[in-house]
Amino acid sequence: MDWSLNEIEGLARKAVRGAGYGWGHAEEAGKATRWICAAGWPGAELLADLLTRLDGVAYDDIRPESCTGPWRARLGTLCPLITGAAICDLAPRWASGETLQLGAVAAPLFLVPYMVWSADRTGVPLMLEWPGLKIIRGAGQTGIHLPDPATLSLAQVEGATLTPATSVTGLPLIRAYRAHVSADPAARLQQLAHRTYAPETEESRRAGAGAGLSDND
């Protein structure tokens, strides 16, 4: 089924909030999903899988334990929505020439929009890479090195690197204005989104998805 980017962003935002994340992360995740889908990549599908996988996992188990040295999660796998937000918050560090090494991260494609926003915010080109994919952003342009398109749909990689770049190389990104979302991931996102419609109680907060994930935004 074809969706407008506005529809995808709105559904993703509500689904992330329904999964227990705070509204701040949900707003950014909605925009990130829109960005990925506009690139012609499986943003909605990856988001549905990610939220299903992390349903009920505590926030502190999937965030970076420390922002010094390599970033790793206490539970072993970083959430890209939480990690991406931290990358944006620390954009001046990458602009100053610092390299970021990430440990295992789920759905790494979700890191790309946050890297893009960091580069645009500081005006310094950045490069994000993991085995099979390298993306560079600078001067409002995005270059892609993608030997294997299957890399876009990876559920997890064991490491990724963010570094300053000298120039934008690779195939230019071509934007789309609508995206196809398969029925199953759309239904799962809608189920999560419906959780935002019911009045929240202390009991539902303890029992619902993403208990403990809220960033208190």
Residue % of the chain over a pLDDT of 70? 91
Q: Above 90 in pLDDT, residue 205?
A: no
pLDDT band, residue 209 (cuts 50/70/90): very low
Mean pLDDT for all residues in the chain: 92
- The predicted pLDDT at position 1 comes to 82
Alpha-carbon gap, residue 1 to 7, rounded angstroms: 12
Are 9 and 181 spatial neighbours (Cβ–Cβ below 8 Å)? no
pTM beyond 0.85: the answer is yes
Count of beta carbons in the 10 Å neighbourhood of residue 13: 23
pLDDT in tens, 191-204: 999 999 866 555 55
Nearest 5°: phi and psi at 160?
-150, 155
- The predicted pLDDT at position 215 comes to 52
Q: Above 50 in pLDDT, residue 216?
A: no
